[in-house]
Amino acid sequence: MDLIQRDRNNPLHALHIIGFLSEEPDYMLLHHRYPNLGTPDHYSINREDLFICALYEPADKLRMIRPLKEKGAKFVNFIHSSVHISPHSSIGQGTVIFPYLTINANARIGEFCTMLSGIGHDSTFGDFSTVGRGSDITGHVSVGTSVKIGHGSVIIPEKQVGNNAVLKDFCIAITKVKENTVVSGNPARREK
């Protein structure tokens, strides 16, 4: 979870990263450029703090965001400038959208989603969900809350994916995926 603040010395009030929050003390070894500011439970929020939810796993998002929101944290969207977004779509707060993607007409993306692939027209993505790189989410697809769609996966038109479902990498969903299930393969089948 990255923490940013406005730079008051810059006339445009540019944003800069001041550090990150993590539950793992060794996480700093991977991100040595910015300091580990502690855990969400122990961090004292400043009035000017803005947060970016740079997490992939839906369960991690839920666990990390909840204590921050309870303290009044402000989350911003982080959307790469190369992303094409239909003016008829909507995107919830705290969402991260990676470069060179398209969010098509009437698409609705919930809060705290991580989008490494675009989504088709008239599709919905529930809060805290993640879609991996190279996936194809076609038109009229409905994805529930806290869903993880693996890299290179495909969901054909007009299918639903239930809450807390997981589609493993390179999974092809041609039927409804029930909530709280893990599916893999082509066609997608429930793992035992």
At 36-95, the pLDDT tens digits run 788 888 888 988 888 888 889 999 999 999 999 999 999 999 999 899 999 999 999 999
Residue 123 has pLDDT above 50, yes or no: yes
| pLDDT tens figures, 157-178 | 999 999 999 999 999 999 999 9
pTM of full prediction above 0.85: yes
Non-local (6+) Cβ contacts of 6 within 8 A are 13, 14, 15, 48, 50
Q: What is the mean pLDDT of residues 98-126?
A: 96
Asked if 148 contacts 167 with a C-beta cutoff of 8 angstroms, the reply is: yes
Strands (E), 95-140: 96-97, 102-103, 108-109, 114-115, 124-125, 130-131, 136-137
